[in-house]
Amino acid sequence: MVLRYGAEWSRGQQHIGTGRKPQAVGLSAVPAGALSKQAIARELGLSIPTVNLLVSQLKEEGLLTLQSGASTGGRIPEIAYFRYDSQYVFGLEVTDHHLRIVLIDLAGTPLFHAYHDLPFRKEQSYWIEARSLLYSIMKQRNLTPANILGVGVAIPGVVRWDLHQMDFAPTLDLRYFDYRAVEDIFVLPVIIENEANAAGFAESWLQSRDQADGIYLSINKGVGGAVIVDHALSYGINRRSGEFGHMTLVPGGRRCSCGKEGCFEAYCSTRVLADLTGGDLAAFFRRKGEEPHLQQVWETYLRYLAQAVSNICVALDVPVVIGGDIALYLGNDFQHFIDMVEAMIPFSSHPYVSLSSAGADAACVGAALLLVARRLQLLPGV
């Protein structure tokens, strides 16, 4: 199966393969949601015999249907419809205190989501409980395992998906966990991905598809991120690319959870704010309008965040998307924040900084989309 990035399958406003939008040229006789073989050949720079071969492979796998198109005077064209509903994918987000579940189709359209207060346990029984939640969703929707492409799982930790291994997830107290054990329990293909990488991938795929490169910053209790290069995640030598939270922002500064001093995370974790209002981040933002000392803390917080973002902009010159819990609250002060970032950048160009709109399900949607991308070979190196 060789449907790589660059193949665009229009489906109203959604299309698989990020980046370029489908070309309108030559498609006037083709209904929305389909491409003629000639258009596919033109889009991908392939010969018609090669397209015929690929199309029949995809048809055999149930991913395409072929129909005769309307004649425009010459030969009646064959139109290929990508079947986004031919299979579905589960996305899970596992944290120390909750389990989120989404079900998406192959275009990333969310069909179902749920949030469970289910603290993680380092026992087989945790995954068995998760399996029964998945299988009950399948039952409700009349789906069988054959309808499910697999399960993408987002976790707060370092993952070696090429080795099927979770290397280190401190908040889950996991080290060197071979996740094929989860695959055996689910009886479905499973991939596990770092949650910031997964959320960044969802952002890149669904929200910022016109941008080939970018940085996603995930600002929650922990601070992390993802590096997107040519629409795919860039992992780095040790699979730790995007660990922005442990860049030093203040030499000799506050102690960080990693043991170092002065890390970005020590200044911009949402704990810095929530700890002042009994651990409740929403309460911090409710109260800061009436309590000047909270407003002052917020201003200081914004300055550190602006410093880190401007450093990233200066170093990489790519769009930066800010996600995680802080994205819900930064909107009201966003122009003020952008002015701060701009003042810290020594060039006249405007920084491309925006807030994530991928929402609270971003990590589990991203983990599910990564499974789609890997299983269908949509992107090289994901």
Q: Which residues bind Zn ion (CB under 5 A)?
A: 246, 256, 258, 260, 263
Q: In the complex, what is the shortest distance from the CB of residue 194 to Zn ion, in angstroms, rounded to a whole number?
A: 16
Q: Which is nearer to Zn ion, 153 or 256 (CB)?
A: 256
Q: How far apart are CA 18 and CA 211, in angstroms?
A: 9
Instruction: Output the CA torsion sign for 328, 312, 344, 260.
Output: positive
Q: Which is nearer to Zn ion, 160 or 254 (CB)?
A: 254
Closest by CA to 138, choosing from 180, 188, 64, is 188
Alpha helices for the chain (secondary structure H): 37-44, 48-60, 124-140, 180-186, 195-202, 264-268, 271-274, 281-287, 292-316, 327-330, 334-344, 362-375
* Beta-ladder partners of 191: 152
Q: In the complex, what is the shortest distance from the CB of residue 245 to Zn ion, in angstroms, rounded to a whole number?
A: 6
Q: In the complex, what is the shortest distance from the CB of residue 256 to Zn ion, in angstroms, rounded to a whole number?
A: 3
Q: In the complex, what is the shortest distance from the CB of residue 208 to Zn ion, in angstroms, rounded to a whole number?
A: 27
Compute φ and ψ for 334, nearest 5 degrees. Answer: -65, -40
Q: Which is nearer to Zn ion, 114 or 258 (CB)?
A: 258
Q: Which is nearer to Zn ion, 113 or 260 (CB)?
A: 260
Q: In the complex, what is the shortest distance from the CB of residue 266 to Zn ion, in angstroms, rounded to a whole number?
A: 6
Q: How far apart are CA 313 and CA 350, in angstroms?
A: 10
Q: In the complex, what is the shortest distance from the CB of residue 285 to Zn ion, in angstroms, rounded to a whole number?
A: 25
Q: Which residues contact 121 (CB under 8 A, 6 or more apart)?
A: none
Q: Which is nearer to Zn ion, 254 or 374 (CB)?
A: 254
Q: Which is nearer to Zn ion, 177 or 267 (CB)?
A: 267
Q: How far apart are CA 291 and CA 44, in angstroms?
A: 59
Closest by CA to 103, choosing from 146, 61, 138, is 138
Q: Which is nearer to Zn ion, 131 or 260 (CB)?
A: 260
First to last CA, the chain: 16
Residue type, 48: I
Q: In the complex, what is the shortest distance from the CB of residue 219 to Zn ion, in angstroms, rounded to a whole number?
A: 14
